[in-house]
Structure 1
Amino acid sequence: MSITVPPADPVPESPLPPGGETAWIEVIQKMDEVYNDLLQYEVALEEKNAALEESHQFIESVLASMSDILIVCDRNGSIEEVNPSLRHISGKTAEELVHTPLFELFADDGEKAKARDVFTRYAREGVHDCEFFLRAGDGSTVPVSMNCTPRVSQTGKLMGMVVTGRPVGELRKAYSALRQAHDDLKRTQGQLLHAEKMVSLGRLVAGVAHELNNPISFVLGNVLSLKRYASRLESYLASVHASDAAEDGALQAMRQELRIDRILADMPHLIDGMIEGAERTRDIVDALKRFSAVDKATPEQVNLNDVVERSVRWVVQSASAKFAVDIDLPPDLVCSGSSGQLQQVVMNLVQNACDATARQPEPSLRICGCLEQGMAVLRFIDNGPGIPAEHLNCLFEPFFTTKPVGQGTGLGLSISYGIVDRHGGKLSASNIAGGGAEFILALPVDNR
């Protein structure tokens, strides 16, 4: 059996001319190069897009963190872009603000007209720190210090403007707080200087009192001795005049010429006056020493009757007008503490009453006292205009005063309240029916 094999197909001839394969290879290589370039361009474009997106996010974060408002407008004054600060103030979204006129943000027609005039006249030069009132989302007005800068193209053509603004309400509050702090600092500085002067004055008074004490004691002792000697001389001269020598004409003439009888009659009054003056000076020196004395660690017995009497005498003597003080105290009101500090408290209360009643036709103060439940209670009642109700809760606060600047430090009642509290007592104030103020000083009684 024979098998017939068909003849093989003839091999077709190449359609490319000689050297055509090389050309195709070059074309493919060029296409690969172009593709690679396109890939590189795409990578570079993606990197630039990422950088642009990062820059955009950075700008948005900066704008979002700005407390100042920012508005970008076109040349016709239509809003193109705003920042969150303006959206917060106006109470509107960005979609509600974009493409609306800039001047619709202002509070009223007057502010709108003012803004149009300013921005029109100074659009090329810019606007700097011009205050306008904007309408807030709650209907209130917000003062804003605004600046405007023109936006121009590369050819110098006006494209629009950028408006920035800073709400000045908070700045005003901060400035007001700063000014108040500065005033408080100045007042505190003045009060510290005053306190230092008072410390120096206390030292001076203590020194003067110490220096006066010795000569006053010397004078008082000599006057008392002189009084005893005068009594003896008077007895001796009486005996001489009653003797036979009294009949001597020359002696009688000398007696009349020298006015011996008148001298003998005046001498007791003169000596008594000297003793009274010396004793009063001694009391003043003793009071000065007590008032200026440094606080003692251990309390002492204090006679409140003497404290009130000295304080009233000192205030009344220094008062420019007639100031009547009526004292009605039971005898021997005694407490435990510092005599100088309690005298400072009483002097402050009496002086305040004197100042409060200065404009009254007949200024007066009544001081009465009693014993209540183991407390010595002193009431200081004046006939002044009383204390305003809004001031009653502030009287004992440091630096609070209703007196004009330069006439009060605002520390008197505050210091007095602290002194009374340290002594275990209470100090309060109220108004009385019919006008006038009443200060009540209560101190524990010393039963020793």
Structure 2
Amino acid sequence: MLTSRSMGRSLFRALTTALRSLPKRRAPCVRFFSDAEIAMPEGRKQADTRIYRPMTETERTYLNPAHFFMLLRAHGTSFFAGVPDSLLKDICAFITDNVPAKQHVIAANEGTALAMAAGHHLATGKIACVYLQNSGLGNTINPLLSLCSQKVYAIPALLLIGWRGEPGKKDEPQHLLQGALTPTMLQHMGVPYEILPDYAEGAFEVITKAYAHMEKEKEPFALLVKKETFETYRLAMQAEVFSGEDMLHREEILEELIECFPSSPLVTTTGFTSREMFELRVQKGQSHGHDFLTVGSMGHCSSIALGVALARPQEVLCIDGDGAGLMHMGAFATIGNSGLRNFKHVLINNAVHDSVGGQPTGSVNIDFPGVARACGYKEAMRARGAHEVREALRKLKDTPGPCFLEIQALPGARADLGRPTTSTHENKDAFMDLLREPEK
């Protein structure tokens, strides 16, 4: 009977044979002229008989998502759960396209994904794979330390972690500290890790090491994934999304929203929402001081807005997203119980993780207004299409809070969408200055 290691070796040999049969990308041959030739008048250059061969060993390589997936399968991993990440979008897309629904769950947050992986191990004895961005590592701390740890239940799981904010690489401010601390966090939590190589032979060695450790020590093992590790893979399976006449994209909804609430403080969720809001203010020549752009802290936008509304008398709007709202939905109960008349909650639901690859959030069939009402919101509505959205926003403005509005939207963003050009400190200071102004 073949062991998982011998199966892995056989698979690796088959994969490398297939890889070697593929046509190689060759760097262009470049001919360099000597100093003497450069000094000669045009038309009198001597023939250069030297042969310049491309240095193929310096060619950039990428890890094929299918090969990586098969290496995990060779070690018995058949269950995958996690929250999509931009650095992992290619492998996440491959998993979404090729793994049955019962064996792949796009989770509301990273902690629940790890808990599902633990449950899978309890039921099958197999090691599951949990994928996440390193910004979601905080959500995994509790199940890592109080569930999967060798000192508690000793449950192995393979963590595939997108390494945003990797030291020495340019990235957004919300990722820099997290990126610098990621290896240290894993070390202090007692989670062994390796950096995943971007070529088949290296990946095989690291994965073999990871599974050998997990099988022996019965604890999680992490693979850190750098930017551009995987080859491009486009998601083929179309996520179930909303459609219909007069449907709006998120940016169009934001434009309607700031027309209806021109002076209210807004707390916008992470991802494309905050980026689009910033550019809308630029286009309209408006102050950025009205908006707190939650560039990180996915799922915490509504709680930030609640904290503002508890401290200030003016109307405060939270502009949430479906993925973010699901990530920490417990905040709905806290908001509902607050009874705050000045709190308005708008959730733009386009049913996908838009900024990290377009994987489904699972929100198409969720009754967000029903959840809000059950949690104590005084009013909860749903709108889709330009006419309904305008009517619902007017009603939202006139209705005392806590009030909730779900707006169903089309997925996608402009290809030329930029990022905020002001610093996070400037954004914070401008927003605080606005809150200090007396109400008009």
TM-score (norm 2): 0.18
Larger helix fraction of residues:
1
Larger strand fraction of residues:
1
